[in-house]
Amino acid sequence: MVNCCGLVSEKNQPVPLKSISVELQVRDHVASVSSCLQYVNEEERPLEAVFVFPLPADAAVCHFSARIGEQEIVAEVQDKQSARDQYDDAVSSGQQAFLLEESEESSDVFKLSVGCLSPGQKASITIVYIIELSVQADDALRFCLPAVLNPRYTPAVSAAGVPEVSSASVIPYTLSLSVEVRSSDRISKLESSCPLDPLEFLDAQHTHAKVNLSSGHRFDKDVELFLYYENSHHPSAVVEAGASVAESGSLMGDPALMISLYPEFPADVMSSLASQGEFIFVVDRSGSMGCKMHHGNDAQMRIESARDTLLLLLKSLPMGCYFNIYGFGSRFESFFPQSVVYSEDTMEEALKRVKSMRADMGGTEILQPLKHIYSQPCYPDHPRQLFIFTDGEVWNTKEVLDLVKSHVYSHRCFSFGIGEGASTALITGMAREGSGHAQFITGTDRMQPKVMQSLRFALQPAVDNISVDWSVPEGVTVDMLSPSINTLFQGQRALIYAQIKGQSSGQTEGSVTLKYRLKDQPVTNQLQFTLKPAEDTGLTIHRLAARSVIRSLELQERAGGADMENIRRRIVELSVQAGVSSAHTAFIGVNKDSKQTVKGPLLQRRVPVARMMGAFGGPGMNKCVGMAPRMMRRSPMQCDIQSNRMRMECDSVSFKRMAPRMMRRSPMPCDIQSNSMGIECDSVSDDCYEAEAEPQKDPLLQLISLQKAAGCWELNASLAAVFGKTEDQVTNQKAVQVDGSVWATVLALIWLYAFKSDQQVEWQFVAMKSASWIRSQKPNGLSQCVCDGNALLGCQVTEDMLGI
């Protein structure tokens, strides 16, 4: 099969998707995204196309329309099953139909069913969604337009039936992107991972600007935008008028309020770190972790970068804390039966096992290791901190998030998405539900600085005791729509939604008082807001508020109980009322005015989604790109499985990672006497998991690997080699009265500050432990020791810089 354009017909004709045009409108902390997808049927027969594509987590899809020739169809939100039935009826009768529905497994995956297109016919699909922009560690607001939909891994049987072809080496469609930003704050700058035209300011205050993606972008990686405001930590309250056609007293009819809370952490708080805790590191060891971090020649394997990161983490932990390390794939294993006290012995044992970690554990099943971790009792006075590393390719995202949320009061969860295809719903969802922090490592990003940044978050005091108090005139009430916020960490922002009910005959303003505690110090902010917002300002805040309520209801539903039918009814009602998608609704549009009946057998084609080229082994290796076949959705199947564990063996990563969408909705009367099903692979593509040659040791990692758990170094040849010296050269410069370990530790600190200052975020905790150890030794002649060390290494580092 020719690998010419990712998906071809029987005659090697190109897939119908031709171009994607995106308009992004940013207002303060919220973005509205309009995507237009151009299709054409170049087959000789009628065509039904299904396009499965990613959206950011918590995106609220609020518009779906289709234009066929001169006719435009604007879809409406309906109950999902009703929409599916209507779509199937329309297609079977030869009508053009369009269906957009949220994946049942993950909220950041949507299926676009284009329906019947006659030969040569063109169609234009427009999808609009709104989203809260996430805050980055440097206070930037991040927007990501995902180009990647890696095949999510499902622990079950494989798909079959629909013709499949290999991943595209050249994406057969183009992308254009325009961005407009309006803000109440001054815009500092806008940066991107992709080439942009120059930023153009449209007002003198620099609160209104626009920019375009440079022409020629292949859309072979995520388009990331980073927006910087001058006063990003100032809280704000924005009121949006309700829809004039909506019923008064309803969410869409009343004014909606959005509060932004982004606390600033003073320097003294940032410098104070806890010395207790239980740190559990959970590392993805599935086959995809054998892929490279990026396309460059010097790129590490993902698992190799994870090993280096674990070395830094293990060396940075405080003495006396507890820790454990889990690896997971189709199965999972832990280094210790339960978390152990951090000591020289336990650290060294863990480091030996880290060195042998490989991407050799099959698929990606994160649910079972999480269940095992949560079943372990917590240690008093040692808050549990969970660090999860994965490329995020799972299908049971919602079940994973429910589990994390159910343990939110006993732990914090810090998650790391590795590679272009990490699921935003999984990564941001675990951090959100676990009151932690999410980081994405894409392109040429280094994993280590981002992980160490999150370790600092885990060790820092957090904002807690958060309260919201309203002051409004008589006749007006405020209903909170967002769930209560327990904790905010440095770098996190909360958006709080509320509904303003009733009217006041006199006053036109209300106020809200935000209170919280930071390191035992109370903080109070009072914000004023209008009760008479301007009309026709859009419904972005209303729809995001509705999405927040819908998500809370969906969590209640998945938790189970006696009132499931009523909760489902409320979800559908609110989704239809607000015009936003949910797990129980879908957008449906049918061209009922078409006079022409489509005749002939339907072909079904899967539209490719751009991915990291070579990530899964090149031509012939990628058999499924997250497709959702509709043709066989209702085919009956029977199975009788009596084994303790069903395994499927294969010789390439492609088969392991196929998403069994074909059988998801088939009636399957099964008798499964097992705890889990897994798909294991014996080998991975050469392009994805090459044999690892012994790498050149990074001098920084070499130095850190020599440090003892207490924070000191021993004076030996290995340490001298890091400095480019012999052991005799280093030993001969030591003053007689100075202990060898003190001398070695002072030299290590001098070397770090003199030669690795640009990577300080990676070794900051290593240095803090070292300085603390030196102070505990109360050595004589320390000042002379620092002078001698500077002379030996050719540096000029002071005692104050070293913190000793």
Kindly tell me if the per-residue pLDDT of 800 is higher than 80: yes
801: which 2 tokens?
């810089």
* Summary mean pLDDT of the chain: 78
* Cα distance between residue 33 and residue 56, in whole Å: 11
In this structure, are 519 and 387 located in the same domain? no
Average pLDDT of the residues in 534-550: 85
Kindly tell me if the per-residue pLDDT of 170 is higher than 80: no
- Whether 654 and 617 have beta carbons less than 8 Å apart is answered as yes
Task: Name the domain boundary from 544, 569, 594.
Answer: 594
Question: CB atoms < 10 A from the CB of 662, how many?
Answer: 24
Q: What is the DSSP letter of 534?
A: P
Q: In b/e form, how buried is each residue of 403-425, taking b as 16+ CB within 10 angstroms?
A: bbbebbeebbbbbbbbbbbbbbb
Q: What's the pLDDT band for 690 if we cut at 50, 70, 90? A: very low
Task: Name the domain boundary from 405, 424, 459.
Answer: 459
* Cα distance between residue 645 and residue 549, in whole Å: 39
Question: CB atoms < 10 A from the CB of 169, how many?
Answer: 14
In this structure, are 67 and 212 located in the same domain? yes
In a domain, 187, yes or no: yes
In this structure, are 504 and 363 located in the same domain? no
Q: Residue 68: its pLDDT value, please?
A: 77
Task: Name the domain boundary from 425, 459, 493.
Answer: 459
- How many domains does the structure of the chain reveal? 4
E strands present in 534-685: 585-590, 603-606, 645-650, 676-681
- Whether 32 and 24 have beta carbons less than 8 Å apart is answered as yes
Kindly tell me if the per-residue pLDDT of 686 is higher than 60: no
Q: In b/e form, how buried is each residue of 453-488, taking b as 16+ CB within 10 angstroms?
A: bbbbbbbbbbbeebebebebeeebebeebbeebebb
In this structure, which long-range contacts are made by residues 93-96, counting pairs with CB atoms below 8 Å and at least 24 apart in sequence?
94/597, 94/598, 94/599, 95/590, 95/591, 95/592, 95/594, 95/598, 96/66, 96/68, 96/123, 96/590, 96/591, 96/594, 96/598
Q: Residue 536: its pLDDT value, please?
A: 67
In a domain, 337, yes or no: yes
Average pLDDT of the residues in 167-186: 73
Q: What's the pLDDT band for 107 if we cut at 50, 70, 90? A: low
Phi first, then psi: what are they for 659, rounded to 5°?
-90, 120
Identify the domain containing residue 339 by its residue range. 274-459
Phi first, then psi: what are they for 97, rounded to 5°?
-140, 150
The bridge status of strand 256-261 relative to strand 236-240 is antiparallel
Phi first, then psi: what are they for 444, rounded to 5°?
-95, 15
pLDDT single digits (tens) 463-510: 877 899 999 999 999 999 988 776 677 777 889 999 999 988 778 899
Question: CB atoms < 10 A from the CB of 49, how many?
Answer: 23
Q: What's the pLDDT band for 608 if we cut at 50, 70, 90? A: low
- Whether 219 and 171 have beta carbons less than 8 Å apart is answered as yes
SS3 188: strand
* Cα distance between residue 41 and residue 119, in whole Å: 5
Average pLDDT of the residues in 15-24: 79
Of 271 and 516, which is predicted with more confidence?
516
pLDDT single digits (tens) 641-678: 333 333 333 333 333 333 333 333 333 333 323 333 33
In a domain, 705, yes or no: no
In this structure, are 329 and 427 located in the same domain? yes
Q: Residue 52: its pLDDT value, please?
A: 64
In this structure, are 211 and 90 located in the same domain? yes
Lowest mean pLDDT among 129-133, 536-540, 722-726: 536-540
Q: Residue 421: its pLDDT value, please?
A: 73
Residue among 358, 298, 448, 388 nearest 689 (CA)? 358
CB-based contacts of 741, cutoff 8 Å, min separation 6: 712, 713, 714, 715
SS3 707: coil
In this structure, are 88 and 175 located in the same domain? yes
Residue among 223, 202, 206 nearest 214 (CA)? 223
In this structure, are 518 and 382 located in the same domain? no
Look up the pTM and report it: 0.64
Please report the DSSP string for 14-44 in residue order: BPSEEEEEEEEEEETTEEEEEEEEEEE--SS
Q: Residue 620: its pLDDT value, please?
A: 31
The kind and range of the H/E element at 455 are helix 447-459
Q: What's the pLDDT band for 172 if we cut at 50, 70, 90? A: low
Q: What separation, in Å, do the N-terminal and C-terminal C-alpha atoms of the chain show?
A: 66
204: which 2 tokens?
């003198």
Kindly tell me if the per-residue pLDDT of 57 is higher than 70: no
Kindly tell me if the per-residue pLDDT of 334 is higher than 50: yes
CATH code of the domain in which 431 resides: 3.40.50.410
SS3 551: helix
In this structure, are 498 and 419 located in the same domain? no
CATH code of the domain in which 112 resides: 2.60.40
Q: Residue 724: its pLDDT value, please?
A: 93
Kindly tell me if the per-residue pLDDT of 520 is higher than 80: no
Q: Residue 630: its pLDDT value, please?
A: 33
Residue among 94, 194, 107 nearest 144 (CA)? 194
User: What type of residue is 535?
Assistant: E
Average pLDDT of the residues in 67-81: 83
Q: Residue 647: its pLDDT value, please?
A: 32
656: which 2 tokens?
């392991």
Of 571 and 218, which is predicted with more confidence?
571
* Cα distance between residue 604 and residue 598, in whole Å: 15
In a domain, 632, yes or no: no
In this structure, are 734 and 798 located in the same domain? yes
Strand order in 208-212's β-sheet? 71-74, 60-68, 122-132, 30-40, 17-27, 174-182, 208-212, 200-201
In a domain, 627, yes or no: no
Residue among 457, 498, 448 nearest 477 (CA)? 498
Q: What's the pLDDT band for 399 if we cut at 50, 70, 90? A: confident
Kindly tell me if the per-residue pLDDT of 539 is higher than 90: no
Highest mean pLDDT, choosing among 157-166, 308-317, 536-545, 666-675? 308-317
Q: What's the pLDDT band for 169 if we cut at 50, 70, 90? A: very low
Q: Residue 53: its pLDDT value, please?
A: 66
In this structure, are 294 and 429 located in the same domain? yes
- Whether 515 and 465 have beta carbons less than 8 Å apart is answered as yes
Residue among 302, 301, 363 nearest 332 (CA)? 363
In a domain, 783, yes or no: yes
In a domain, 482, yes or no: yes
Q: Residue 595: its pLDDT value, please?
A: 56
Q: What is the DSSP letter of 394?
A: B
In a domain, 432, yes or no: yes
Q: What angle do CA 154, 157, 161 make, to 5 degrees?
A: 110
Kindly tell me if the per-residue pLDDT of 314 is higher than 90: yes
Lowest mean pLDDT among 4-18, 463-477, 550-564: 4-18
Q: How many CA atoms lie within 13 A of 230 on its CB side?
A: 9
Q: How many CA atoms lie within 13 A of 150 on its CB side?
A: 33
Q: What angle do CA 11, 17, 19 make, to 5 degrees?
A: 135
* Cα distance between residue 444 and residue 439, in whole Å: 14
Highest mean pLDDT, choosing among 151-165, 338-352, 541-555? 338-352
Q: What's the pLDDT band for 109 if we cut at 50, 70, 90? A: low
Q: Residue 167: its pLDDT value, please?
A: 34
- DSSP-assigned beta bridge partners for residue 671: none
Of 289 and 489, which is predicted with more confidence?
289
Residue among 414, 28, 373, 392 nearest 230 (CA)? 28
Distance (Å) of CA 52 to CA 4, 110, 481, 576, 606: 20, 6, 31, 23, 8
- Please state the length of the chain: 804
- Whether 229 and 188 have beta carbons less than 8 Å apart is answered as yes
In this structure, are 443 and 584 located in the same domain? no
Q: What's the pLDDT band for 766 if we cut at 50, 70, 90? A: very high
377: which 2 tokens?
């009792």
User: What type of residue is 213?
Assistant: L
In this structure, are 315 and 449 located in the same domain? yes
* Cα distance between residue 738 and residue 757, in whole Å: 26
